[in-house]
Amino acid sequence: MQYWLMKSEPDTFGIDDLAARKNATEHWDGVRNYQARNFMRDRMKVGDQILFYHSACKTPGVAGIARVVREAYPDHTARNPESKYYDPKASDDDPRWYMVDVQFQRKLSRLITLKELKGNPALDGMALLKKGSRLSIMPVEEAHWRAVLAME
């Protein structure tokens, strides 16, 4: 069992949007960063737990929990010229970009804000809190996972 943090902009797709999806499941398309892609493609397994993080919004923070329900497969939006995620370098032979499916588990009883996370010494060293960290998908250590949920 591994733990992850995935960022999403709530104005576009927040935890409530995930909960409202059919089967509360959505494919995580549009990832166009190699490091984030590699985490999905090479390491994510069905059953892994995810902190659903709201970014680029008024109050950034952890909003809920999701889990991986399908392992990496080609991100078809890369092959669609109509998509804003279109990548002309993606091909059938080399899909280049991948996505996983994630399912809503639960919403936290309250938003645990970035500010609070930064103030928790138990989270020292967490990738999310490192200066200049822009990765949209990152692994979370089990101790950090527990410490975040203990703040709920």
Partner DNA sequence: GCCAACGTTGGC
Among 14, 29, 99, 136, binds DNA (CB under 7 A): 136
The number of beta carbons lying within 10 Å of the beta carbon of residue 3 is 18
Among 16, 20, 33, 110, binds DNA (CB under 7 A): 33
Among 19, 21, 25, 57, binds DNA (CB under 7 A): 57
Question: Judged by CB under 7 A, does residue 7 bind DNA?
Answer: yes
Q: How far is CA 18 from its chain centroid?
A: 12
d(C-alpha 61, C-alpha 148), whole Å: 11
Question: Judged by CB under 7 A, does residue 38 bind DNA?
Answer: no
Question: Judged by CB under 7 A, does residue 22 bind DNA?
Answer: no
How many angstroms separate the most distant Cα atoms in the chain?
47
Contact 93, 46 (CB under 8 A): no
Nearer to DNA, 1 or 81 (CB): 81
Question: Judged by CB under 7 A, does residue 14 bind DNA?
Answer: no
Provide the terminal-to-terminal Cα distance of the chain, rounded to the nearest Å: 21
What is the binding site for DNA (CB under 7 A)?
7, 9, 32-35, 55-57, 60, 114-115, 118, 130-136
